């Protein structure tokens, strides 16, 4: 909602909130499942449940895309799939390179959901000469020396870094220099990139640490609860948790993209 909405009320304008963007893939997945089961329409309530969010949030999110529902009825599944795909830029397909073909890189290469929606693994790249030529997930691994050529020849703009932490920044620099402008980083490092390049980070140990924090909290609360229960009368059962909601928050963080 950055630039005013003053006029142009019809054609949904730009400026979809980042939090909404982060949820669109979730909706898309739920819708795709419905589509496969040939469900023709769905209400915000049902779709929200399938996506793990609440319906008010979902309706608000969709309102940023336009008015694609029918009052009293719900949303047309196929139509919404198309609209969200388009909004996410998945009507074209994006060639992606994966750099670092260890266990993780191989797992990513084998990941089916990859190809299924808008992405194509254009190349697998590894620094180990012994890997060169070896096929992983049916794609021959190429040596890092080829990186620049691969990026240019395939018009790759999205790169996935699955290397050890030590190599990540260097790989990142080369990717960016060769023209990549979006990076998904699995290495546990903060990457620095020039303006205009987006980096998203996936980090196992950070996720675990966040869980540990809450886990620890629960242990503490349990003790408090027992005490309270002992002191007071009876009703202490489900009274502890702070947030409830049917939500399944993404980002956990507000992960947000970071144009760096």
Partner DNA sequence: CAGTGTGAAACTTTTCACAGCT
Partner DNA sequence: AGCTGTGAAAAGTTTCACACTG
Residues 17-76 that bind its own copies (CB under 8 A): 19, 21-26, 28-30, 50-52
Applying CB under 8 A, does 211 fall inside the site for its own copies?
Answer: yes
Q: Which of residues 159-188 bind its own copies (CB under 8 A)?
A: 160, 181-184, 188
Q: Which of 72, 166, 196, 220 binds DNA (CB under 7 A)?
A: 72
Tell whether residue 184 is among the known ligand binding residues: no
Phi, psi dihedrals of residue 85, rounded to the nearest 5°: -60, -45
Applying CB under 8 A, does 201 fall inside the site for its own copies?
Answer: yes
Q: Residues near 154 by Cβ (< 8 Å), separated by ≥ 6? A: 95, 97, 122, 123
Applying CB under 7 A, does 44 fall inside the site for DNA?
Answer: yes
**CB under 8 A, 24+ apart: contacts of 11-19:** 11/66, 12/64, 12/65, 12/66, 15/64, 16/64, 16/65, 16/87, 17/64, 18/254, 18/256, 18/257, 19/251, 19/254
Applying CB under 7 A, does 59 fall inside the site for DNA?
Answer: yes
Phi, psi dihedrals of residue 10, rounded to the nearest 5°: -70, -85
Strand order in the sheet with 74-76: 41-42, 74-76, 69-70
- Taking the complex as a whole, the smallest distance from the CB of residue 188 to its own copies amounts, in Å, to 5
Q: Which of residues 100-139 bind its own copies (CB under 8 A)?
A: 102-104, 106-108, 110-111, 113-114, 116-119
Q: Which of residues 218-257 bind its own copies (CB under 8 A)?
A: 218, 238, 240-257
Task: Say which entry of DNA, its own copies, none residue 128 contacts (CB below 5 to 8 A, set by partner kind).
Answer: none
Annotated binding-site residues read 100-105
């Amino acid at each position: 909602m950055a630039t005013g909405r003053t006029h142009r009320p019809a054609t949904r304008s730009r400026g979809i909130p980042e939090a909404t963007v982060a949820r669109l893939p979730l909706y898309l997945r739920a819708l795709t499942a419905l589509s496969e089961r040939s469900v023709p329409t769905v209400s915000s309530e049902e779709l929200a449940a399938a996506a793990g969010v609440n319906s008010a949030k979902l309706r608000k999110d969709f309102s940023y895309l336009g008015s694609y529902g029918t009052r009293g009825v719900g949303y047309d599944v196929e139509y919404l799939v198309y609209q969200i795909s388009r909004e996410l830029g998945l009507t074209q397909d994006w060639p992606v390179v994966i750099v670092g073909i260890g266990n993780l890189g191989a797992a990513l290469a084998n990941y089916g959901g990859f190809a299924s929606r808008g992405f194509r693994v254009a190349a697998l790249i590894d620094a180990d000469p012994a890997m060169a030529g070896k096929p992983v997930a049916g794609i021959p691994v190429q040596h890092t020396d080829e990186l620049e050529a691969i990026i240019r020849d395939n018009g790759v703009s999205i790169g996935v870094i699955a290397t050890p932490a030590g190599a990540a920044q260097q790989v990142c620099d080369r990717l960016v220099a060769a023209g990549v402008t979006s990076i998904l980083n699995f290495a546990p490092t903060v990457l620095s990139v020039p303006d205009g390049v987006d980096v998203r980070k996936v980090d196992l140990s950070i996720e675990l640490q966040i869980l540990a924090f809450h886990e620890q909290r629960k242990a503490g609360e349990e003790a408090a609860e027992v005490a309270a229960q002992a002191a007071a009368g009876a009703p202490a059962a489900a009274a502890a948790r702070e947030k409830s909601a049917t939500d399944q928050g993404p980002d956990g963080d507000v992960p947000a993209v970071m144009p760096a």
